[in-house]
Chain A
Amino acid sequence: MSLQIDLSVHLTPTCALPSPILIASGGLGFGDTLAGAVALEGAGAFITPTLTLSPRQGNHMPRTVEASAGLIHANGLPNPGLEASLVTDIPRLLSLPCPLIVSIHGENTEAWRTLAERLSAIRGVIALELNLTPTALHSDGFLRGDTPNEAETLQYIAASLQTVRAATRLPLIAKLPNVGAEIGVASRAAVSAGADAIAVSQAFPAVAMRLSGRRFRLPGVAGGLSGPAIKPLALYQVWRVAQSVSVPIIGMGGVMNGEDALEFVMAGATAVGVGIANLIHPNTSAQVLAEMRAWMARNGVAKIATLTGIANREG
C-alpha cells in the first residue's frame, strides 16, 4: 500500500502553498533564464530578489567570495526598481507554474507604502516578504560604524511593517535582520506590528581576507554568508522564533537536500527556502521535494504539516 503524501502547507489560514519548498529571494534571480532548464512545478512559491522603489545597479565587483561550505555575497540589492519590474519581471514570474511572493525593501516610509500598494494590485502575487535589514541599502549591507541598537532595530521592524500593513491586505512575511536585535525579540516585535509569518535566516555578516594583498577581498569589506556553513545558525533562529511566536515560520540557510529541509521543518518551520543551492544545482527544489517525499514514505508520515515544530513538542 502506498502512502498518500500531502506536502501542502498554509502560510496563513487562507494562503495555502502546494508544498513547503520555496525559492528563496535571489535563489533563482528574476527567473528570466530558466525556460526549458528549471522545473518549478511543485515548488511552494518563488520569492523574487528584493525590489526597491528606485532601480539599483548594485555594488562594485567582486561581489562574491567562496568560504568554507559557504558563499559570501555583497550584491547591493541590484534590481530594476518597482516600475520597470511591474512591466517586465512580474508578468513573466506570474507565468511560472508556482505561486509568486515578492520581496521588497522600502528606501523610506513612502517607498514601503508605494511598493505595498502597487504590488497589492497585481493579481497573482500571493504575499509580500519584507526584507527588514535596516542597513540593506548600505554598500555592503552592514554598517561599518555604529549599527542600530536593539531599540532602533525593533522600531525599524515595527514601523516598516505597520506602514506596509496599512497599505495592503496581502499576507506579510517579515524577513528579520540577524544583527541588531535578538531574533526571538525581533520576531515578537514583527508579529505585534502585523507580520503573518516570520522568515529566518538572512545571510550572516562576514568578511574574507586576501593574504597576498594584505587586505579584504570585498570592496565593501563585509558581505553576507550563506550556504551549508550557516545551517546550524539558521536552525537556531528557527527554534528561537518558534519559541517566541506562534505564526508560521519560513526557515532557510544552507538547505541543500531533503534532509536539510526536514530538519528546518522539525525545528519549527512551516516552509523552507532554498537559496544558494539553486546556483549550484538549478533544479534543487524539485530534488529536495522528491527527497522529502521519499523520507516521508519511508517513515510513514503522510502530512508534512504534522512534522512542523515536532521537535519542540517532545518532552
Chain B
Amino acid sequence: MSLTLPRTPSPFYEIEAPVIYHERTVGAEYEIVFHAPAIAESARAGQFVEVLFGEGYAPLVRRPFSIFRANRDAGTCSILYVARGSFTSALARKRVGDGLSVVGPLGNRFQWELRRGRQPVLIAGGIGAPPITFLAREICEGESSLKYRPVVINAAKTRDLLVGQVEFGALEVSLHVVTEDGSHGRQGRATELLREIVHNSTAPLALYACGPMPLLKAISDIAQEFALPCQVSVETPMPCGIGVCNSCAIAVYDLPAQKTRMVRACWEGPVFEASNLVWEGY
C-alpha cells in the first residue's frame, strides 16, 4: 500500500496574476480572484497556491493558501482568507488590477472518487474551510446523481473565526455549524458532533477534513474507532511549496519497513490518508 496519495502529474507555474475581483465576504474574510489560466486549468480541491507580493523583500518568502475556487473557462482561481496577520492584512489592501505573484497548482488533492458509494462527511476547522468548500462543490458537481448529500461540519472556537459560511450555505450540503463558545450554531466541538453523526448514520461514511492538527488527530481517532476511511489536509508552514526547502516534513508510517518516514507535506501532501500519518506529538 502506498504511504501517500497519488499526485496529479501536472507541473506548477509561476504567474504574475492580476487581481480581477476582491471583496470582503463577511467580517475579516475576503475572497480574492486572480487571472491564472495555467493554474485554473488543472486545479482540484485540496491543492494550494503560494502567494507573494510586496517590495524590498518584505515579505521575503511566499505563504501557502488552499485554492478556494477555480474557473477553467474564465481562467481564474481564488483564495479565501482572513485578514489577521501582517501578510493577510497587506493582502487585503490589494486592489483589482494589482498583481500577485502566484505559484501553483501545488500539492495533491482529495481523492473522493475512491470513496464513491459512501456518504461524504466534510469537517472544516477555522481557516481549514476553503479547501473543504472546494471539495464540497467538486463532489456536488462531480456526481450526476448524488446517492447521499454531503454532510459538512464547519467548526471554530468562536463566531468570528468561522470561515466559508457564505459558500457552504449556497451549496447542496447538509450544513452543521459548531462553535466552542456557542456564539454561532451549536455549542461544542466538531468531534462531538461528528461522533453523533457517525452513531446515527445508517449510510457508510467517508470523512474528509482540514483544520489544525489537534482537530485532525481527534478526527483520525474517530475514523479509526469506527473503521471509516478518512482523508485529511494538513496545515503546516510551507515556505516554498515546491518540495525543495524541507520545512514542512511530516512523519508517515512505512508499514512494510516497520518504521516511520518523513515526507514533504507540500509535495507528497497536503492530503493524506489519516491512517498513514504519525499522530503522536500533536
Interface residues of A (CB under 8 A from B): 26-29, 32-37, 49, 57-58, 61-64, 66, 68-71, 73, 75, 78, 227-228, 256, 276, 278-283
Contacts and interface: CB of A to CB of B under 8 A. Distances in A.
Contacts of B3: none
Which 3 pairs from chain A and chain B are nearest by CB? A36-B11, A29-B244, A33-B243
Given A33-B242, A33-B267, A71 B249 contact: no
Given A32-B243, A62-B237, A227-B60, 20 more contacts: A26-B244, A29-B244, A29-B245, A33-B242, A34-B242, A37-B242, A57-B262, A62-B247, A63-B246, A63-B247, A64-B245, A64-B247, A69-B57, A227-B57, A228-B57, A276-B60, A278-B244, A279-B244, A280-B52, A280-B240
Given A27-B244, A29-B244, A61 B249 contact: yes
B255 interface: no
Nearest to A79: B246
10 contacts: A58-B246, A58-B249, A63-B247, A64-B247, A66-B239, A75-B245, A227-B60, A256-B57, A279-B239, A282-B103
B25 interface: no
A33 B11 CA distance: 8
B14 interface: yes
B212 to A, nearest CB: 14
Indicate the member of B57, B103, B261 with the most A CB atoms within 10 Å.
B57
A195 B155 CA distance: 59
A34 to B, nearest CB: 8
Contacts of A58: 246, 249, 262
Contacts of B62: 279-280
A68 B244 contact: no
A41 to B, nearest CB: 16
A61 B236 contact: yes
Contacts of A70: 60
Contacts of A68: 58
Given A279-B244, A280-B52, A64 B239 contact: yes
B12 interface: yes
B interface bracket (residues with beta carbon within 8 Å of A): 20 to 34
Main secondary structure of the interface of A (DSSP, over half): loop
B74 interface: no
Main secondary structure of the interface of B (DSSP, over half): loop
A51 to B, nearest CB: 14
Interface of B: 10-14, 52, 56-62, 101, 103, 236-237, 239-240, 242-249, 261-262, 267
B245 A73 contact: yes
Given A57-B262, A227-B60, A64 B237 contact: yes
A69 B58 contact: yes
Contacts of A75: 245-247
A66 B245 contact: no
B242 A228 contact: no
A227 B249 CA distance: 21
A278 B242 CA distance: 10
Nearest to B87: A66
Contact of B249 (A32, A63, A228, A276): A63
Contacts of A283: 14
A71 B63 CA distance: 13
A227 B60 CA distance: 8
A68 B59 CA distance: 8
Contacts of A78: 246, 249, 262
B57 A279 contact: no
Given A57-B262, A58-B249, A279-B244, A66 B61 contact: yes
B48 to A, nearest CB: 14
B266 to A, nearest CB: 9
B12 A37 contact: yes
Contacts of B243: 29, 32-33
A185 to B, nearest CB: 32
